[in-house]
Structure 1
Amino acid sequence: MTEQKSWIKDLVVYQIYPRSFYDSNGDGIGDLPGILQKLDYLEELGINALWLSPVYRSPNDDNGYDISGYQEIMEEFGTMEDWDRLRDACRQKGIRVIMDLVVNHSSDEHPWFIESRSSRENPKSDYYIWRDPVDGHEPNNWASAFGGSAWEYVPERGQYYFHYFSKKQPDLNWACQELRDEVIGMMNWWVDKGVEGFRVDAISYLDKPLDFPDSTLPPRPDGYSFPDCLICRPGTHAYIREMNRRVFAPRNILTVGEVAAPTVEELGNYVKTDREEFDMVIPFVLPKTEIDTWSPKRLKKDIEETYQAMKEDGWWARFFSNHDKPRQVSLYGDDGEYWEVSAKFLAMFLHSLPGTPYVYQGEEIGMTNVKLPSIEDYDDPSTRDQYQQYLLSGMTPEAALAQAQLESRDNARTPMQWDNSETGGFTSGTPWLKTNPNTREINVETQRRDSHSVYQCYRKLIALRKESPALSRGDLVFLETGQEDLFALTRSTAEETLLAFHNFSRQEHEIPAALLDGAGEVLLSSYDREGGYRGPVLRPYESVIFRK
């Protein structure tokens, strides 16, 4: 990262999923005026950058990630004038606006696709990826991420189009220069309107092989196989560098890519300064993979490897939560007996790491996963597909639902819990997705009044990061504790050193005496409600940060 971009190191980014944040008009769907009404809350929290999940015109097959109008606002969310008012209010409060950008695919209702599907001779014919049938069938056995074949037949052309995600999300053909020019023009249009950054969705799949070979992966229960040759392709990196050259670098905007990167080396390819691609990345991991493989040992290994690989040339997006993941306190902590202390613990650990911290809506009050009673209650298409795959594999409906509940992206998409009313203060109408029943205990209104709440812990952490050069700029060193789930680390600059201990378990762990030598002043403890740090034996999910 160049010195010109050093302002990125001072950001704390808050991600809003607009559909679930706050409904201003009682239709059950969150909207832009609702975000504007809650801007004082975000300012109080201390954030200085706002990432909006897509608000563009969309038929909502995938909740806005299927865009039918890149330079229009979805009617349910409001108008472009509402967006302008939000931008202006953010400027007044020193909050930068980051837009979610989806350019791997569009909606099948986008005018580009409507023209492209009309005939092979249309000027926009090559804006999407078309292939002839093979023996009267799909070009190959590739699976869509949302279930079934990744190919959909269009009689007008006598061809199939490729869709990595839903059949209503046809992939754009980045090999077409005219398409790239259209996308680049759209991105510059938004920057002209005042956008100061882009989070770029599903960006690892832009470059497609010309021959579309059969998959080498074993088939899923439905007989299709996920394509295993769409990531780590050099053409994708070339397209990102073109974006950087024509938009990102000249306009000095923040960029963060959502990437599939199987190795640390590939992760670095997206962010190292001399590569001229992104400022930072959000690695995408399937929820099932995360649930099945996560452990404190693996987490520490991943952090150390990526830190060493990029500490001289690169930067990190630090997050535990977003709109695609189960809630962090349910996944990594304990949403039962140790709900509050583990929610604080996760916040303290994340904010003690180098990189730009991301806070996903509701994380700051410790929102948890939800178990909706029926698969029909779930909106997420990938949840419904996974449920069907479990049934095809032989699971009972009860077991399939239980597993789908754990993995569902809807865990992160239930309405924001503002108060203890039935709909959590999210809407005066019927919410588009059921509210988590625990809003009666977990909500903003209660926690703003409580000096020891999860919310107040986040406020203190964000304020500490702004005043501490060690947290925003300092080097990271992990110290050996002799225990896999007891982490010790320092963050230090020439002027300041912070020392942190994090107990990643339900068991007590004693801090080695040598590590506490000169520990200094306690700045924050996840057990502040219980009086704070009490000595070398850390309680379950206890975090403590010292200034040496």
Structure 2
Amino acid sequence: MHNSLFTPMKNLLPIFLAFLFLNLIACEPKKPAPEKDNLEGKAWWKEGVLYQIYPQSFKDTDGDGYGDFKGVIEKLDYLESLGITMVWMNPFFESPMVDNGYDVSDYRGINPRYGTMEDFQAMLDGMHARGIKFVLDVVVNHSSDQHDWFLQSRSSRDNPYRDYYHWWPAEKGTPPYRHSLFDPEGAWEYDSLTNAFYLHTFAEQQPDLNWENPKVRQEVYDIMKFWAEKGVDGFRMDAFQFASKDTTWPEFPEGHEKDFIKWYGMRPQLHEYLKEMYAEVIEPYGVFAVAEGAGSTFQDAHDLVDADRKELQMAYHFETVDLSRTPEGYDLADFKNVFSKWDSAFAEKGWISIFLSNHDNARMVNRFANPDPKFITPSTQLINTFLMSMRGTPFTYYGDEIGMTNIDMPTIEEYVDVEALGKYQAAKSSGQDMEEFMQILNYNSRENGRTPMQWDATLQAGFTTGTPWMRVNPNYTEINVSAQDQDPTSILNHFRKMTKVRKENPALVYGKYELVQKEHPDIYAFTRKGEGQNLMVILNFSKNSSSIKLDQLPTESNLIINNYSDVNVNDQDMSLNLKPYQALIFSFD
């Protein structure tokens, strides 16, 4: 009898279990559907154009002098008009703002200066509605010394968070010297509370997290998941090549800090951690990640980003921006060489970004174009043409689309940047020529790249109705969005043309790069071949006219871009005569 009753129930059991399983799946938190890319082939983050926003300098809506999320929301249509497809925003987390947000005290909290989480979500949704993806700046080489983890860590030696950071007990003596990029006294800071030193690669208020502790790594992955589930599309990993440390603390040779990356970056364990990150976050959420820095060698860079490594998807190196660190400027031959060798190294595998400015550098116009009012328009158009024509994902810094320039800050009293102040003290202590030091600092300080966005010619450049956190560049009355918006020959509208040209010509994304007439002293010429196209890019980097002989010349029918109204060709000797800073792209057979 029991058997006869059990038989129909037994037959229903698989149905019941299936129903239960489906309900459990339905209740599970939803993850964003990953976008499937052929990582060594085509991918949205390869085809995109990234625009970097320094949030406190972009647009202020509440009159406190700091940019905010609502300011970005107000300018979403402007961003869409640029033709950009990604936005990377510098940190907006809770922070004491010692390093303008790169000292995070709460990775899930919004600094009230910028708004609320609801404001962030509205901004993100507004970008997505316009086809713009969002890249979050993740600062996890270090935290703020006001983060709860560090407050717990320094409270006692047996606190559960003690190993979230690197500590050296004072009874062991002086710790082995480690260089700090911001602190002339070095990277170990004494803390009397537990009679120990903690490590800080940057400012003393930025203690380094201990990535060798698996609990720390899991905390980071959980933070990334938190933001991915809000809809973030990618991550920029700040200072990440320095995250892993050799905790045996060997003695480094004297002067080792001159080759900082070799001694402090790219430890083998870093790749283990990146593979963990890929498996936990990158792959399941369909996001991408770009590393700040690319190690010391091409192999270092490939080990970070080659698709079969399953680590990161893109890296950017600093060799190009390092070309112009002093007022003497750069040499075009070196410029060609650096870009050409990096392209060659990544011709078959891996992917890099293409950029000439960001929040850690002075303005692109002063360093690579020509800020002279006579030449600023064509020279900036030329640089933007170049950036949009190279293989790699172009990164554009806010204001570069209108030709914003450096701001004159000749005395140290004007500087608030922790890096600038640290370098000044180090230079003074070592007996450097301080007049020369200030000339170089005035030229290359990253504060040049952080002045408020110049929207129009009204008071404070239309950035704020209050007092801006940083002085507006006085040239805002001439260089601003409003003045350029309706001018078809402006820097701004040339930038818009170039993003369109890049999207419409896939050879500029995936095509083979080949340098033409490498030794030409004034002209940077190269071809991009692929995707059924042959394109020639001709750029006169000189303030003087210059000519070049070619096998094929531009005509009215094959000319794609020109930042002047005409082209001067000589069919008899097959030469092309270019005006100062003239930039051309044309197709050829």
Shorter-chain TM-score range = over 0.9
From 176, 189, 192, the equivalent of 1:140 is 176
The 2-side partners of 1:152 and 1:459 are apart by: 48
Residue 242 of structure 1 corresponds to 276
The 1-side partners of 2:39 and 2:261 are apart by: 36
Residue 325 of structure 2 corresponds to 291
List per-residue Cα deviations over 1:484-518 (Å, max 9, x = no partner): 44221111224222111112233432111435388
2:569 is aligned with 1:532 = no
List per-residue Cα deviations over 1:452-510 (Å, max 9, x = no partner): 00000000000111111212222212222541442211112242221111122334321
Mapping of residues 39-50 of structure 1, within 5 Å: 39-50=76-87
Mapping of residues 141-540 of structure 1, within 5 Å: 141-147=177-183, 148-218=185-255, 229-284=263-318, 290-291=324-325, 294-336=330-372, 337-480=374-517, 482-514=519-551, 516=553, 521-526=558-563, 528=564, 531-535=565-569, 536-540=576-580
Distance 1:468 1:126, change over 3 A: same
List per-residue Cα deviations over 1:276-319 (Å, max 9, x = no partner): 22111122469776425843222222222222222221112111
The offset of 1:384, in angstroms, is: 1.5
Give the AA of the match of 1:91. Answer: H
The 2-side partners of 1:313 and 1:413 are apart by: 34
The offset of 1:401, in angstroms, is: 2.0
List per-residue Cα deviations over 1:350-400 (Å, max 9, x = no partner): 111112111110000001111124312222111112222333343454433
From 507, 521, 544, the equivalent of 2:584 is 544
Counterpart secondary structure, 2:109: strand
Counterpart secondary structure, 1:75: coil
On the 8 A contact 2:58/2:453 being kept in 1, the answer is yes
Distance 1:289 1:541, change over 3 A: closer
More displaced stretch, 21-30 vs 466-475: 466-475
The 2-side partners of 1:149 and 1:375 are apart by: 22
From 49, 53, 57, the equivalent of 2:94 is 57
On the 8 A contact 2:40/2:307 being kept in 1, the answer is no
Give the AA of the match of 1:304. Answer: S
The 2-side partners of 1:45 and 1:72 are apart by: 30
Distance 1:494 1:39, change over 3 A: closer
Counterpart secondary structure, 2:345: helix
Give the AA of the match of 1:321. Answer: S
Give the AA of the match of 2:365. Answer: V
The 2-side partners of 1:349 and 1:287 are apart by: 14
2:121 is aligned with 1:81 = no
Distance 1:519 1:246, change over 3 A: farther
2:149 is aligned with 1:112 = yes
The 2-side partners of 1:520 and 1:354 are apart by: 25
On the 8 A contact 2:402/2:484 being kept in 1, the answer is yes
The 2-side partners of 1:23 and 1:517 are apart by: 45
The 2-side partners of 1:348 and 1:452 are apart by: 14
Give the AA of the match of 2:181. Answer: A
Distance 1:483 1:491, change over 3 A: same
Give the AA of the match of 1:89. Answer: G
Q: Highest CA radius of gyration, 1 or 2?
A: 2
Residue 128 of structure 1 corresponds to 165
The 1-side partners of 2:377 and 2:164 are apart by: 50
Say what the alpha-carbon RMSD is for the aligned residues. 2.2
Residue 50 of structure 2 corresponds to 13
Aligned residues: 541
The offset of 1:449, in angstroms, is: 2.0
More displaced stretch, 279-288 vs 371-380: 279-288
On the 8 A contact 2:88/2:135 being kept in 1, the answer is yes
TM-score relative to the length of structure 2: 0.87
On the 8 A contact 1:498/1:545 being kept in 2, the answer is yes
On the 8 A contact 1:386/1:404 being kept in 2, the answer is no
The offset of 1:519, in angstroms, is: 9.6
The 1-side partners of 2:568 and 2:389 are apart by: 20
- Give the fraction of aligned pairs with identical amino acids, expressed as a percent: 39
